[in-house]
Structure 1
């Protein structure tokens, strides 16, 4: 059962990621991949980073391919894991079933990582929630942004002013009285629904450096990030948005 206060939470993807200070070997990544097949039985997708080195002539241009890890997926494609030499993450796609179920996957992934790779210094932890606010618009009229989002652009008034077709804004800041940093994005986004206007609200909170060495303390810190995420989400939306999620 979902722990969300809303009947239809607007979450399209939730992510918890841990990054390491130093990489592990490819063979260790493959062992982790194999031990996670119970939760992620779909054949893994190889991830690679490709970079190009330019020479004086076209024939001297070279592509360098670097192993980046694997993308793992559950049979229903809702739960996803990314494992690489310096990162391990868990993602939950819509429909979101609540923090408790989601974080259980993330903790199992990390436990397998620890068992294979041993103790490694964690350099960054992060929690990201991508939300899509779908506003029914049967008459296909302009939808005021500030009816649904508090975090929004302010436009000047000028002759010929009509309606905003699209927008994107970004803010990065420290969260007061905490070690966390916030990246907050809002914008218009194409809607997969007919006669609907959709807004994006992307909340990304992280801490880099000065992280605990014990797993219990790490996960307690991640739970603190989640509480900040909830507070920021509620501060960023209006009552009209809440009505959409509750109906």
Structure 2
């Protein structure tokens, strides 16, 4: 369903490599992505080694693991990491039709100019924040994924977090869906998180067009999970 004001605050697509790409290659090829992104930050990873000895020495160092590219406003992001490539869009999200061409472009650039790698996992994550202009609500009026609690007496709920992990039947897809309270940036409102993380580690194609077709299929499943997790009353908030 197309909404005038979708609640999406971030959409992320991740392609995880079956074998790591040396950082030296990422650094050498960085200029290819600089043509499309104005910002560039280097990502490091800390490594700590504990050595058994009378002195119990601890050795710590940092190593470069990737580069984060972004637009000037930080809303468009691409991360080339030694074990994955990530393409993300932060709100405002203008729809899959606007986002998917950038995914195709960045995937094509990586495939053409970097070391060829098979993908061991493809992930599609959508983080939604649902803002309700009320101070007190019945969760069941807006969400279908919420905790059912016993009667504790005269109490008032101030927060919750609930996560479910499931296999989408007759497919290769596994998904996690999480609902929770979050601090609302909107005055006199309540905000809820609906986080959907869909992934597959099986039957991953190698051709770019087939990978993009699989992403389109995943997007349809993700939308189904979202629509199943909200009510009609919730939908009115997005139009």
TM-score interval, normalised by the smaller of the two chains: over 0.9
Show the counterpart of 1:165.
158
Show the counterpart of 2:17.
20
Q: Does structure 1 residue 184 correspond to structure 2 residue 177?
A: yes
Give the unaligned 5+ runs of structure 2.
Answer: none
Q: Across the two proteins, how many residue pairs are aligned to each other?
A: 238
Q: Does structure 1 residue 53 correspond to structure 2 residue 71?
A: no
Show the counterpart of 1:75.
72
Shift of 1:215: 1.4
Quote the RMSD (CA, aligned, Å): 1.6
Asked if the contact 1:32/1:112 (under 8 Å) is kept, the reply is no
- What is the TM-score of this pair, normalised by structure 2? 0.94
Q: 1:240 aligns with which of 224, 233, 236?
A: 233
Shift of 1:225: 0.3
**Distance across 1 between alignment mates of 2:47 and 2:158:** 36
- Residues 97 and 61 from structure 1, CA distance in 2 versus in 1: closer, same or farther, beyond 3 angstroms? same
Give the unaligned 5+ runs of structure 1.
Answer: none
1:47-76, CA deviations, whole angstroms, 9 ceiling, x for partnerless residues?
Answer: 111132234688822213232201111012
Q: 1:148 aligns with which of 142, 148, 158?
A: 142
Q: What does 1:211-230 align with in structure 2 at a 5 Å threshold?
A: 211-230=204-223
**Distance across 2 between alignment mates of 1:27 and 1:111:** 20
Q: Matched residue of 1:221: which SS?
A: helix
**Distance across 2 between alignment mates of 1:132 and 1:206:** 21
Asked if the contact 1:89/1:106 (under 8 Å) is kept, the reply is no
**Distance across 1 between alignment mates of 2:76 and 2:30:** 15
Asked if the contact 1:31/1:116 (under 8 Å) is kept, the reply is no
Asked if the contact 1:10/1:132 (under 8 Å) is kept, the reply is yes
Q: 2:113 aligns with which of 106, 116, 131?
A: 116
Shift of 1:28: 2.0
Shift of 1:118: 4.3
Asked if the contact 1:133/1:200 (under 8 Å) is kept, the reply is yes
Shift of 1:218: 1.1
**Distance across 2 between alignment mates of 1:187 and 1:172:** 15
Q: Which moved more, 1:52-61 or 1:174-183?
A: 52-61
Asked if the contact 2:23/2:65 (under 8 Å) is kept, the reply is no
Q: 1:206 aligns with which of 188, 194, 199?
A: 199
